[in-house]
Chains A and B, each alone.
Chain A
Amino acid sequence: MSHPLERPTNTFCGRTRREFLWQAGGAFTSVALAGMLSKEGFLDRQAFAFDGSTPLSKSASGAANPMAAKPTMLPGKAKSVIFIFCYGGPSHVDTFDYKPELYKHDGKTIKVKTKGRGGDKNEGRVVGPKWKFRQYGECGAWVSDLFPNLATCVDDMAFIKSMYAESPIHGSAMLMMNSGRLLGGPSMGSWVNYGLGTVNQNLPGFVVMLDSAGGPISGAKNWSSGYMPAMYQGTVLRGEGPPILDLANPEGRTDTHQRAMLDRLKMWNTRHALLRSGNSELESRIESYELAYRMQSTAPEAVDMSLETKETKELYGCDQEQTREFGNKCLLARRLVERGVRFVQIYSGGGHNDESWDAHGDLKKNHDYHAGRTDKPVAGLLKDLKRRGLLDETLVIWGGEFGRQPTAEYAEGTGRDHNSYGFTMWMAGGGIKGGVTVGQTDELGSTGVDDRYHVKHLHATALQCLGLDPNHLSFFYAGLDQKLVGVEGAEPIRQLIV
């Protein structure tokens, strides 16, 4: 059987907007789809069943709802993704990429090719790593003292130490990490929701949580759906107050008041639709108010931390000032994936400069701050997922838009400039082999040397874990089968996958 997301090869001119109907299955709600195909009757004209070739007749459309959560294209363990985005670019040589040589050269000026905010350089003053590294777990992975808690989870984590990206500049690098393109486009969360559909119609399928310092550079463009319909864009979820914009009734409006309005609206809208038979969009819109109403009651439950035990909260560090903010977000992320949210992205760091991991000045101060706020929460998340049996179906990704240089940026101080030639990311759960490391950087950590992996390979690996074929998950736009991994495609990193 061919998969709905794969174009049937026997149909000429198959890649048309009409095809979008079955390609787009798995949208937020069935309402969403019907409406998206803005023209009445659209559904009947060009609807296809899951095999991609059987047209759905009007009468059959009820029987084979193309909007249910989709079967995956491939076997895949992961059902959800939690992407912990360390915005600003954490230093790999101070976190997970142990470079003993670097300590020795501290302060010496050496020849090394770098490219960062300050442009291309051919030499620089080495900044020795500011933390000690130790080996942990059965796999013996090296982790710096920045992450004492996370270090206890290394046997569940797989490290990619030879990542590279196309840009050492935040703006374009952020867009690349999120969408696979320097110019931006539909983000990974959009692709995952497009590919898998949703199993919980009462919550958005793609949720973004921002740092209290603010959004990242380029703001909402990082979770944009690009040329895809807006239903695939990320929804910003806040840890305090109403979690989603406009989810709560305005102040002073009771639930019965809201319901009275909705009932009256439904009555009038239904009468309006009766006179205009054959327009399913009108009916979809009537239904969307009921869905919204249900979201109003279910979404707050999803973010209600009072339902968690003290022990669980402590595991995430929610009880300590330093880790409370990020701990709450990680715990929230677990609650969301438990409820079927497909993609959760949590930003560590926001705004600019030292509000993020962008340590241009004082590396020690910066990374102590950001690692200190996130180490325990992320470790808690991995442990909690594991003990609940959720880790197998939840893919956790950790990393920034790039790493940092082995040399100092300025004549004085410990700050490091950006480095997209080589950096580390790790993944855990969701079908990822624990305790594995692939690739390496040179002895200074300045660039990947073996098995270098482009951002696209990271994306391909994540899709593969989710049971989506990265080279066939496509959206036809502008005459091309657009893919997260680019029109040329990219293979997943198979060594990492169980």
Chain B
Amino acid sequence: MRLRLLGFVTSPFAIASAASLLTTAVVFASATLVTQTAPTEKPAQQSATHEAKSLSEETIIKRAEAARDSWWAYKELVAPAVPAVRNDAWCRSDIDRFLLAKLEAKGLVPAPEADRVALIRRAALDLTGLPPTPEEIDAFVADASPDAYERLLDRLLASPHYGEKWGRHWLDLVRYADTNGFERDSDKEAAWKYRDFVVRALNADMPYARFVRAQIAGDELPDRDFDTLVATGFYRLGLWDDEVPDLKQALADDMDGIVDTTARTFLGIAMNCARCHDHKGDPIRIREYYQFAAYFAGVAPYKESPFNSIEADNVLRMVRRDFGHADPEAEIAAFIARREALVGEIRALEAKSGRVTLDAFPDSAPSEGLVAHLKFEDAKSATAVNAVDASKPATVRDAGFEAPGIIGKAFHFDAGDDRVEIDRPVGDDFTISFFFRTTDVGGGSDSDRRWFLGKGLVDGEIPGIVRDFGVSYIANGYISAGTGDPETFVSSGPGHNDGRWHHVAFTRSRKSGDITLFVDGVAVDRARGSKAKLDSPRKLAIGAMLPGGGAFAGDIDEVRFYERVLGENEVRSMAFGLTRPEAVRADLAARAGEDAAERFDELHAQLAALRAPDWKGETVLAVRENAAPRETRIMQRGNPHSLGDVVEPAVPLVAARFEPAPAVKPAHGESAGLRLALADWIVDPRNALAWRTIANRVWQHHFNDGIVPTPNDFGRFGEPPTHPELLDHLATRLLAHGGSLKAMHREIMLSSAYRMSSVPTDAALAKDAPNELLSRFRMRRLTAEELRDSMLIANGTFNAAVGGPPVLPPLPREVLETSSRPGEVWPLTPEESWTRRSLYIKLKRSLQHPLLSSFDLADLDSPCPERFATVVPTQSLSMMNGDLTNEEAAKLARRLERERPNDLRAQIALARRWTSGRTPDAREIDEAVAFIAELKAKENLNDAQALNSLCLVLFNMNEFLYID
């Protein structure tokens, strides 16, 4: 049984929903067996180039077994012997010895240490993606203590910006984007929480094994929590077509994305080649591709019908931040017990006042503003009496049934055609109040609780974007309410289908647009919606949705409409049948003494202060499994309509030096445990491939190239490592550090190799021009994000906030016009967000930030293990002429004027420091002064304009764009 809302008891009725889910799964499974009836989609002519000849299975198996011991990537991981070097004095660590040995063999000497300015800029950008401030540079340059550099690294590693920088590397691998692509390119809801998980995990130095297990099987971990569930968003990052021409094909493509991304990211294996046929380079059979895919067979697909939809229930979960660390069930039980105790004691004191009796539920509803009141004392008649205005009764459709009410009788709805209709009595300010009880499962779903999807309690839904409103009953006992245009809704937590009476009040203020939902006297949710008169529905339906359908099964009683917003105290009194305290206090004091009266006051205060626990949690994008994993069958030639043998989960033979442990179904029973078995196998210290893969990635981003230059392909189509022993050394060190990436950064960056200057000697150029052997450091260009962020840092506008939903800063009109919805495609977020880190700019598949895209942002649709670094004239155009760079340059100029008023030379010196870290010499300042003078004289610019031009030039300088 899938328990959708984690951490809550399912009501007995959840079984019904599980059963319906099962049906869905069965339908899905049978759908895959239907043969395609469309005209044949086979190309009319067969390709002339297709290589039909394949090796026999046996041969491939033999090759795979042989490759495990012969191909470097699959070999057992053992700490390699450290080579002896002549110049051991240069070596700070074994990393240096591995490198130096190769250099010495070629007769090369390592470059001298980089100067301190270069070193701190290099380290800061590598670890945080942000340049150091002049103050930080000065402090480091002046720090003569032997551990100055070490402390610098520690400071940078502790920065919250470290996770942002290294998180971006990770996001490139897993195809992170904020939208789904295709016609609507809709938002991938809550994807950003996955991004934030990655940042958080890296900042916390989550051991790599845990990091991997969380993403592959975070929901199956015995100690799962919010973060590990969010981590499984890993499965949900693909391109999703919400309206597919061929469902089976679309699901096969999504699965391929999962298989390929998993194999490449964690193992450096290119599995996708075997999707259609046995791999041409590596000994991986088509069968093995589908065996690997079988680990994910339980993952509920993003789509179950070809029509325009994405299965929110399959891909979203409601989770509380403290999930796994708190016990929400107990919290809720305690809350209910506490509420009942308070109410019970208040009622008992009320009785002592002599004004109230305990045997009946007192009707304590206020009468001010009451415009309609249905008591349902005679449900069988054709009309329901309106106790406020007998001339405006409600109409009873079909026959009603009586049931015992909370007061007198109630209207019983049997989920048939019965419903009550009343002319809409309110539309501006209002409160709708009623009691209900049910054991039914509502409409909508746990993760999609928009009121108009539910079963009607009091409803005025009119299809379309109109001024309507209503209260309904959703899925596993949620209550939802909302107003239309713009669609705004509020909802409660689940579990209100316990067969007990519950009070609901929905208030709405026209002036503010505020809507509040109260359940059992407590405000459970608030939102701000339409400020218009809600006059679209002419009538309201009770016990059904107004347009038809959504028939409610249960009892409803005491429906009241007020043309005002009731206060919390009033709602609370109504919900519990409490008498106004002022009405009984004096009598209570007189009869039972002042102590009792004080106790009475105190109880009321406590009840008023009582807050419901967080029922809802928040939406996260996560994995969810079907009740039973689907069967995985080989798709012949990769064609989902041409199914072959059924296969069981297995890892590729070539990588299987040892077998994964059998899957164990997790105690929560939501999934099969297959993915956890796979994750455990991947991160097993014996899995050399996995540890080499991550060790190589860490190295790659420090030295601007991997030891294996193809980080996502360690097979025969990839390139072999330049320093295989060093790679194994790093992998074993990473294991020794317990998978701590921060420890690895430290170890690598403390080496002499990392501290080398990037300037080559003639000898180095002659003997190793490509610098494959690393006789000097490799310069690199700033990434797209670093480029933009560095401009914001330089001009002082950088907003350093970490995490949160994507931001949308202004884009050029010309870019927006490429969208099919230019006016709606890019709704700006508040201005303070415009200078957030580039990491947070919305990654929309159909529309990208032009500067970031131009500077080689990763392709959002496929794994990107290393970015291109192109140099094209259009980059120069955007850097010189674009609004963005010109605006940032002008802001830099204004900052200079503020900080060094009326001192051009000081402004220039500071500008150079902010953009390159370096203090310019007198000649450079002279040149800049002359430049400004020239612009002022020849171009008739004022001081500010000329300074803008200088700042723009500085942003275009290679000294700014490249890291030494």
- Which A positions have Cβ atoms within 8 angstroms of B? 13, 15-18, 28-29, 31-32, 34-36, 38-42, 44-46, 58, 113, 115, 117, 119-120, 164, 166-173, 175, 182-185, 204, 210, 214-221, 226-227, 229-231, 235-236, 238, 244-250, 254, 256-258, 260-262, 264-265, 267-269, 272-273, 275-279, 281-282, 284-286, 288-289, 291-292, 295-296, 350-352, 420-421, 447-448, 451-454, 456-457, 471-472, 476-480, 485, 487-491
Docked Cα-Cα span, A238 to B814, in Å, equals 9
| Residues of B237-271 contacting chain A, CB below 8 A | 239, 241, 243-246, 249-250, 253, 260, 264, 270
> Do residues A35 and B871 form an inter-chain contact, with CB atoms below 8 A?
yes
Known: A166-B245, A254-B939, A479-B270. A39 touches B822 (CB 8 A): no
> Do residues B877 and A246 form an inter-chain contact, with CB atoms below 8 A?
yes
Docked Cα-Cα span, A408 to B303, in Å, equals 28
> Do residues B819 and A214 form an inter-chain contact, with CB atoms below 8 A?
yes
Which residues on A sit within 8 Å (CB–CB) of B47?
Answer: 471, 485, 488-491
User: Among the listed B182, B245, B856, B876, which residue makes an inter-chain contact with A168, where contact means beta carbons less than 8 Å apart?
Assistant: B245
| Residues of B841-865 contacting chain A, CB below 8 A | 845-848, 850, 853-854, 856-857, 859, 861-864
CB distance from A230 to the nearest CB of B (A): 6
> Do residues B846 and A221 form an inter-chain contact, with CB atoms below 8 A?
yes
> Do residues B876 and A289 form an inter-chain contact, with CB atoms below 8 A?
yes
Is B709 engaged at the interface, CB distance under 8 Å to the other chain? Answer: yes
Which residues on A sit within 8 Å (CB–CB) of B953?
Answer: 261, 264-265, 268
Docked Cα-Cα span, A260 to B850, in Å, equals 26
Docked Cα-Cα span, A273 to B939, in Å, equals 29
> Do residues A36 and B869 form an inter-chain contact, with CB atoms below 8 A?
yes
Known: A172-B182, A491-B48. A40 touches B770 (CB 8 A): yes
| Residues of B25-42 contacting chain A, CB below 8 A | 37-39, 41
Residue on A nearest B760 in the bound complex, by CB: A278
Which residues on B sit within 8 Å (CB–CB) of A262?
Answer: 880
Docked Cα-Cα span, A420 to B710, in Å, equals 39
User: Among the listed A44, A479, A485, which residue makes an inter-chain contact with B717, where contact means beta carbons less than 8 Å apart?
Assistant: A479
> Do residues A38 and B182 form an inter-chain contact, with CB atoms below 8 A?
no
Which residues on B sit within 8 Å (CB–CB) of A166?
Answer: 41, 245-246, 249
> Do residues B880 and A218 form an inter-chain contact, with CB atoms below 8 A?
no
- Chain B 286-309: CB-based contact to A (< 8 A → 1; otherwise 0): 000000000000000000001100
> Do residues B239 and A183 form an inter-chain contact, with CB atoms below 8 A?
yes
User: Among the listed B246, B704, B882, which residue makes an inter-chain contact with A167, where contact means beta carbons less than 8 Å apart?
Assistant: B246
Closest 7 CB pairs of A and B: A35-B871, A489-B47, A38-B869, A171-B183, A479-B270, A167-B245, A171-B182
The main secondary structure of chain B at its interface with chain A is loop
> Do residues A230 and B856 form an inter-chain contact, with CB atoms below 8 A?
yes
Known: A219-B847, A257-B939, A490-B47. A247 touches B881 (CB 8 A): yes
Residue on A nearest B875 in the bound complex, by CB: A288
Chain A CB within 10 A, most for which of B50, B815, B846, B873 = B873
- Chain B 768-782: CB-based contact to A (< 8 A → 1; otherwise 0): 011110000011110
User: Among the listed A168, A184, A214, A447, which residue makes an inter-chain contact with B181, where contact means beta carbons less than 8 Å apart?
Assistant: A184
Docked Cα-Cα span, A42 to B770, in Å, equals 5
> Do residues A32 and B245 form an inter-chain contact, with CB atoms below 8 A?
no
User: Among the listed A16, A115, A480, A491, which residue makes an inter-chain contact with B38, where contact means beta carbons less than 8 Å apart?
Assistant: A115
Docked Cα-Cα span, A351 to B50, in Å, equals 39
| Residues of B571-601 contacting chain A, CB below 8 A | none
Is B905 engaged at the interface, CB distance under 8 Å to the other chain? Answer: no
- Among B403-411, B672-680, B954-962, the one that faces the other chain is B954-962
Docked Cα-Cα span, A58 to B934, in Å, equals 41
Known: A171-B243, A278-B765. A38 touches B935 (CB 8 A): no
Docked Cα-Cα span, A115 to B883, in Å, equals 46
- Which B positions have Cβ atoms within 8 angstroms of A? 37-39, 41, 43-45, 47-50, 181-185, 239, 241, 243-246, 249-250, 253, 260, 264, 270, 272-273, 276, 279, 281, 306-307, 704-705, 709-710, 712-713, 715-719, 758-760, 764-765, 769-772, 778-781, 812, 814-815, 817-822, 825, 845-848, 850, 853-854, 856-857, 859, 861-864, 868-878, 880-883, 886, 924, 927, 931, 934-935, 938-939, 941, 949, 952-953, 956-959, 961-962, 964
Which residues on A sit within 8 Å (CB–CB) of B253?
Answer: 182-183
A-B contact count (CB 8 A): 333
Which residues on B sit within 8 Å (CB–CB) of A260?
Answer: 931, 934-935, 938-939, 949
CB distance from B70 to the nearest CB of A (A): 15
Which residues on B sit within 8 Å (CB–CB) of A42?
Answer: 770
Known: A166-B245, A183-B861, A257-B935. A231 touches B715 (CB 8 A): no
User: Among the listed B49, B845, B883, B886, which residue makes an inter-chain contact with A221, where contact means beta carbons less than 8 Å apart?
Assistant: B845
User: Among the listed A172, A227, A277, A451, which residue makes an inter-chain contact with B244, where contact means beta carbons less than 8 Å apart?
Assistant: A172
Q: A115-B38, A292-B876 are in contact. List 14 more A-B contacts (CB 8 A).
A: A39-B778, A115-B245, A119-B307, A173-B245, A185-B861, A218-B181, A250-B886, A260-B949, A281-B869, A281-B871, A285-B876, A292-B874, A479-B717, A490-B47
Interface CB pairs A-B, < 8 A, 16: A17-B710, A17-B719, A28-B872, A32-B872, A38-B781, A39-B705, A172-B182, A182-B249, A182-B250, A230-B868, A275-B759, A278-B769, A281-B779, A421-B38, A478-B272, A479-B715
> Do residues B758 and A284 form an inter-chain contact, with CB atoms below 8 A?
no
> Do residues A472 and B39 form an inter-chain contact, with CB atoms below 8 A?
no
Docked Cα-Cα span, A41 to B845, in Å, equals 34
Which residues on A sit within 8 Å (CB–CB) of B276?
Answer: 487-488
Docked Cα-Cα span, A272 to B916, in Å, equals 12
CB distance from B179 to the nearest CB of A (A): 11
